[in-house]
Structure 1
Amino acid sequence: MRALTLRLYEDLLPAGCPPVFLPATPRALYVVDGGLTLEGPDDGQWLTAGTARVSQDCTTLIGDQTDTRIWRWELTEASTPAAPALPSAPSTSTTLKLEADVALDPRFDWLMRCDEVGFPPGGVALTHVHQGPGIRICASGEISIETQGTRHTHAPGEAWFELGPAPVLAPTTEDTPTRFVRCFLLPRAVRSRSSIRYVRPEDADAPKVQTYRVFAERDIDLPA
Structure 2
Amino acid sequence: MRKLYIFIGLIISCSSTFCYAESKIDLKGFHGKLRAQLHELGYLSELNDKYQLRLTEVTIDPQGYMKDHHHSGPGIRCVISGELTYVINSQKTLYKTGDCFTERGDITHTSANAKNKPVKLLNFELLPGSVKDNENSLQPVR
Contact between 2:34 and 2:57, CA under 8 Å: does it hold in 1?
no
Give the 3 Å change call, closer, same or farther, for CA 141–163 of structure 1 in structure 2: same
Contact between 2:36 and 2:54, CA under 8 Å: does it hold in 1?
no
TM-score (norm. length: structure 1)? 0.43
Question: What secondary structure is seen at the aligned counterpart in 2 of 1:43?
Answer: helix
Contact between 1:137 and 1:160, CA under 8 Å: does it hold in 2?
yes
Residue identity over aligned pairs, in percent, reads: 24
Structure 2 residue ranges without an equivalent (≥5): 9-32
Q: How do 1:1-224 and structure 2 match up within 5 A?
A: 43=4, 52-55=35-38, 56-57=41-42, 109-192=50-133, 193-199=135-141
The CA deviation at 1:158 is 0.5
Aligned-residue Cα RMSD (Å) equals: 2.9
The CA deviation at 1:198 is 2.5
Contact between 1:139 and 1:157, CA under 8 Å: does it hold in 2?
yes
Give the 3 Å change call, closer, same or farther, for CA 146–188 of structure 1 in structure 2: same
Distance between the aligned counterparts of 1:54 and 1:197, measured in 2?
19
Structure ID, larger Rg: 1
TM-score (norm. length: structure 2)? 0.65
Contact between 1:126 and 1:198, CA under 8 Å: does it hold in 2?
no
Kindly provide the CA deviation profile for residues 94-118 of structure 1, in whole angstroms up to 9, marking residues without a partner as x.
xxxxxxxxxxxx8x81111111111
Distance between the aligned counterparts of 1:130 and 1:163, measured in 2?
8
| Structure with more helix by fraction | 2
Structure 1 residue ranges without an equivalent (≥5): 1-38, 59-75, 77-105, 201-224
